[in-house]
Amino acid sequence: MPKTPASAEDPADRTGPTGRSAVRTLLRLWPYVRPVRVRLFTAAFIAIVASCVGLVIPLVLKWMVDGPVADRDPRGVWLGALYLLLLGLAEALLFGLRRWLVARPLSRVEAEMRAGLYGHLQRLPVAFHDRWASGQLLSRGTTDLMLLRLFLAFPLTFLLVNGVTIVVGMVIMLLQDWTLGLVMLGPAVPLVVLSSVFEKKYARAARLAQDQVGDLTTVVEESVLGIRIIKGFGRHRSQARAFRELSRTLRGTELRKARLLATIWAVIMTLPEVAIGAALVVGAVQVADGSLSAGTLVAFLSTALALRWPVESIGFLLAMSQEAATATERYFEVLDAEPESGEPLVSGERGLVPGGGSRSPAVRGASPRRSALGEARLPAACDGLRFHGVRFRYPDAPPGSPPLLDRVDLHIRPGESMALVGATGSGKTTLTALIPRLHEVTSGRITLDGEDITAMPRETLRALVAVAFEEPTLFSASVGDNVLMGADGTAGATELNRALSIAQADFVHALPRGTDTQVGEQGLNLSGGQRQRLALARAVVGRPRFLVLDDPLSALDVHTEAAVEAALRQVLADTTALIVAHRPSTVLLADRVALLSDGRIAAVGTHHELLRTNAEYAHLMAGGHSLEEEDDER
């Protein structure tokens, strides 16, 4: 199934986190923070101490004004200046120590969360990756985790520190003069109300912006991977237009966030300034009539000014917290997705549930054997590969839609190769994907040598079954590493060269560094036929007991195809194989042929039998040379 395009609805919630609690969402980070909690708590305590040290400075000023300054005592003034210098240095050193304490543990938290996300993505079923745009997943592993690290490093600490600082500062001001303290408390109620409204609106905008970043990442990734198509068809202008439109949409969302932040910041800055001005007027009147000392007024105003930063920072600290909450939400949207279970499954009332069901009598109590090369083997009681009444419907298919595969019954005998033929869209590739459990059957069962594939661990199953897909995927690694991915860790140069020989991939020895040559992203520096041969070598390198090939020779020229088929016949003689075939030449590799039509196996027989007795099969094989002609040529 195709991935969701950037312009369409994707699995992420585009409506925003309305109704969710930011605090409850952020608390989900606790398991990651717990290992470094001592350093974080210590850093927060140091920051509180540093902030409270800053609040001592106004008290020193009060002592200086009412004492040495009023008494015209120069020595007292110099002593007060020394106190102020020491307090300022202590505050700076404490904040520096806090920063040092949090840097290393938070980078560790970010790394562990990123590794956890990547590992979870590897365990998620293929259906999940079919639904999700890759850019959305990339943005969650990069941008969102960066926002979370910044939140843990700064807003998380300073929401606490600034809250404590404001409370301590207000207590100091009330103790100095309660009337002036009440004047300063005046803006508190409207600030709380406005902050609550701002939080909800900003949360929606933040979620929308982060989803749009994921869309933009998807477009960039697709454009880079598809650069040959874009250039080949001269579509660079249309792609640039699409990118600009998405960028313009993201820009609009970011400007909306900026307007919200500017509004709340303007209010948060204005109200305290008005309160300070009012306190100055009231305090000046009190000093004039003698009910308040000048030192007390200086200390009060200094404390109020020291609280300006903690109060004014509330706006962007709340904004960063909301962005962190939406980033956490997006991160756990992926982590909450149900992964493939590595354990066997047993039949439940409906579908399959994790568990340890009993094995078939032929293999109960027996463990898979390993050959000299280390590949897993089932016990000797062989029955080949069987499909028993298999039905399959994609989980997100419309309700009431017919299944893609319906009551498929097929038996591939031990050591036999079966070609699977059918019209485009008949479900051939889906059928092959059921064998290694890339998708789970809706009903029915598949057995390998008599054992239900759901009764064995996935690791064991996938060690027994090797696959080569029609679209070969290579990784940014060496040729050797790409091929040996199909074997366990004991395979070496001998197995590698054997697999390359079977796949007629000896071209790799002419590469600059031979099998150590880096393939490059997606293997696009190789031809389609070369990539397909390496994918085939990867499938056969581990000497699998069961082999599933999805039209593995479609990109090869006639001469290379003939050489590969000759080598494959030796491999297929000792392997139970299912081969999706579109061309007569590929069909001739198989002992028998199965025709898949309308989701069912319509006919099974040798290729010559089906050609004579089945009109649909004969029609599929028509074109170019007839099957008999191709067989004669061989």
The 10s digit of each residue's pLDDT in 535-546 is: 888 888 888 888
The stretch 370-378 carries a mean pLDDT of 38
Would you mind telling me the total number of residues written for the chain in this entry? 634
Instruction: Please report the domains of the chain, with CATH numbers, ordered by start residue.
Output: 29-335 (1.20.1560.10), 368-633 (3.40.50.300)
The pLDDT value recorded for residue 355 is: 36
Q: Judging by DSSP bridges, how do beta strands 352-354 and 345-347 pair with one another?
A: antiparallel
Q: What pLDDT is attached to residue 410?
A: 92
Q: What is the mean pLDDT of the chain?
A: 78
Confidence of residue 388 (pLDDT cuts 50, 70, 90): very high
Distance, CA of 347 to CA of 236 (rounded, Å): 52
pLDDT at residue number 593: 92
Residue 349 confidence class, pLDDT cut points 50, 70, 90: very low
With a cut of 60, say whether residue 88 has pLDDT above it: yes
Residue written as tokens 């900003």? 202
What contacts 450, CB < 8 A, 6 or more positions away?
A: 360, 362, 363, 381, 382, 383
CA gap 437, 458 in Å, rounded = 8
**Helix (H/G/I), strand (E/B), else coil: 449:** coil
Mean predicted confidence (pLDDT) in 103-129:
85
Amino acid at 420: L
Q: What is the mean pLDDT of residues 417-421?
A: 90
DSSP character string of 292-333: S-HHHHHHHHHHHHHTHHHHHTHHHHHHHHHHHHHHHHHHHH
Task: Find all residues with CB under 8 Å of 88, minimum gap 6, and list them.
Answer: 57
Beta-carbon contacts of 79 under 8 Å, excluding residues fewer than 6 positions away, are: 68
pLDDT band at 344 (very low <50, low <70, confident <90, very high): low
Q: Does the reported pTM lie above 0.95?
A: no
Return the exposure string of 54-84: e unless at least 16 CB atoms fall within 10 Å of the residue's CB, then b.
bbbbbbbbbbbbbebbeeeeeebeebbeebe
Residues 6+ apart with CB under 8 A from 18: 200, 203, 204
Rounded Cα gap, residues 309 and 94, in angstroms: 17
pLDDT above 60 (res 377) = no
Q: How far is CA 173 from the centre of its chain?
A: 50
User: Comparing C-alpha atoms, which of 266, 265, 304, 307 is closest to residue 282?
Assistant: 304
Distance CA 374, CA 368 (A): 11
- pLDDT for res 332: 92
**pLDDT(381) > 60:** no
- Sequence-distant (6+) residues with CB within 8 A of 62 are 176, 295, 296, 298, 299
**Residues 508, 66: Cα–Cα separation, whole Å:** 88
- Confidence band of 594 (pLDDT split at 50, 70, 90): very high
Q: Is 360 exposed, middle or buried (0-12, 13-18, 19+ CB in 10 A)?
A: middle
For 122-136, what is the mean pLDDT? 83
Q: Name the H helices within 65-187.
A: 70-71, 74-123, 126-131, 134-141, 143-153, 155-176, 178-185
What pLDDT, on a 0 to 100 scale, did the predictor assign at position 570? 75
Give the contacts of 556 (CB within 8 A, at least 6 positions apart): 529, 532, 533, 564
What are phi and psi for residue 446, nearest 5 degrees?
A: -125, 135
- The model's pLDDT over 151-197, given as tens digits with 9 standing for 90+, comes to 888 888 888 888 888 888 888 888 888 888 888 887 777 877 777 77
Indicate the pLDDT class of residue 496, thresholds 50, 70 and 90: confident
Tens-place pLDDT, residues 236-285: 788 888 888 888 888 888 898 888 888 887 887 788 888 888 888 888 88
Residue whose C-alpha is closest to residue 520's, from 467, 559, 562, 473: 473
In whole angstroms, what is the distance from residue 509 CA to residue 529 CA? 16
417-422 and 576-580 strand pairing: parallel
